[in-house]
Structure 1
């Protein structure tokens, strides 16, 4: 296991149970890498029966060929227009740039993005936020744009959400020599989602609380895998 990420606690109590969150440091995962190889290499000797292995959605998407450098993306006029009205969050640019909005249009379809924009415009007038992403769906929420603190080469790239995350979690579970649960997660400094897992619904909700403070971090930690272990 790697050292704890700077400023991130290794343990947390949820519902009266103590859990360790153990980040696994890897090399930078690049397009063309195989997820199976990454999982086998970096989890070898790290897991115990009863653990939960969580995998960030970003490395799943990268190994699926769903990472694009900015100069590969040619935003249409609609993407440039809509991106001006997206509220940028403290942890990332979201769809607030033409390139990420263009990929949202491709992923979700123009009608859905236009509907999300229309709903958001109405509800913002009443002081409500977040409806754009609620309507656009998880594919839009999962798009990661470039930020200064992102590890290269992804500081100049757009990474889409992973395809078939539940099936990915089930496949990863089948690769492991130790019986553990697996989850593909999208966790950031303002919340998180379980995109797919081998858990039931209650288990996924508990996992969101366990990872609520984002123990993997968002920047140069290079810890796209982690283990949850009951103390």
Structure 2
């Protein structure tokens, strides 16, 4: 296989004097009910080499776990409508700035925690500090993906939650690949990324996030929810 970057993305990046390839892997459009282990091994087995890190987007894992919901099926309570109005909309995405995503945050995290996060954020925002809402609400709220026009259908009209047990999923994938490569479940976009689960020690998570910080998989219709990080000799 000849390594090829997605359009508008660089194949290689230099981090701390070491060059790394980020090789995207194209798949079919994955749907709920598919086996994530089978899907990943089908497309990645012929690509990964010893010493690689296979990275898998959190969205594809969550979708196979049935954690993706059509917006039309989500009945947002009045509280979700109210709270969503106070969420700052940014170029990063809709976040919890729509009633349906806020409703899913209330279900995932619990009403008391979301209300506490909102109260703290209201005070800290008045003092000029940002980010307290998502810091207190936690990763399950922060990682909720709302619908965007650039996402592959049908997920351009769905809300996707964070995956369950990402560390365990990463370990299962690594074993299925014959333990020749580490695996990371990642949440990346065009503004950076987070490592949600991995077989790599936590001390290495920050470096992985930096290697992927420009989102080599792309944010639109590339259909590349998998990729390989490989050191360049």
Same fold, TM-score > 0.5, yes or no: yes
Can you list the C-alpha shifts for 1:64-117, whole angstroms capped at 9, x where unaligned? Answer: 010000111100000000000111221310000000000000000000100111
Can you list the C-alpha shifts for 1:8-65, whole angstroms capped at 9, x where unaligned? Answer: 1010011111100001011111112110111121012101100000000000000001
CA distance in structure 2 between the aligned counterparts of 1:228 and 1:163, rounded to whole angstroms: 24
Which residue of structure 2 aligns with residue 84 of structure 1?
85
Q: Matched residue of 1:62: which SS?
A: helix
Written as runs of structure 1 = structure 2, the 5 A alignment for 1:120-131 is 120-131=121-132
Which residue of structure 2 aligns with residue 137 of structure 1?
138
Count of aligned pairs: 231
Runs of 5+ in structure 1 lacking a partner? none
Q: Which moved more, 1:121-130 or 1:44-53?
A: 121-130
Q: Is the 8 A contact 2:182 2:200 kept in 1?
A: yes
User: CA shift at 1:145, angstroms?
Assistant: 0.5
Which residue of structure 2 aligns with residue 215 of structure 1?
216
CA distance in structure 2 between the aligned counterparts of 1:170 and 1:87, rounded to whole angstroms: 36
Which residue of structure 1 aligns with residue 161 of structure 2?
160
User: CA shift at 1:178, angstroms?
Assistant: 5.3
CA distance in structure 1 between the aligned counterparts of 2:213 and 2:200, rounded to whole angstroms: 17
User: CA shift at 1:177, angstroms?
Assistant: 2.9
Is 2:202 the partner of 1:201? Answer: yes
User: CA shift at 1:189, angstroms?
Assistant: 1.7
Q: Is the 8 A contact 1:47 1:178 kept in 2?
A: no
Q: Is the 8 A contact 2:4 2:11 kept in 1?
A: no
Which residue of structure 1 aligns with residue 17 of structure 2?
16
CA distance in structure 1 between the aligned counterparts of 2:27 and 2:181, rounded to whole angstroms: 20
Which residue of structure 2 aligns with residue 185 of structure 1?
186
CA distance in structure 1 between the aligned counterparts of 2:85 and 2:213, rounded to whole angstroms: 30
User: CA shift at 1:136, angstroms?
Assistant: 0.4
Which ranges of 4 or more aligned residues in structure 1 deviate by more than 3 Å? none
Runs of 5+ in structure 2 lacking a partner? none
TM-score, length-normalised on structure 1? 0.97
Which residue of structure 1 aligns with residue 32 of structure 2?
31
Q: Which moved more, 1:183-192 or 1:47-56?
A: 183-192
Written as runs of structure 1 = structure 2, the 5 A alignment for 1:28-177 is 28-177=29-178
Give the root-mean-square deviation of aligned CA atoms. 1.1
Can you list the C-alpha shifts for 1:143-162, whole angstroms capped at 9, x where unaligned? Answer: 00001111100011000000
TM-score, length-normalised on structure 2? 0.96
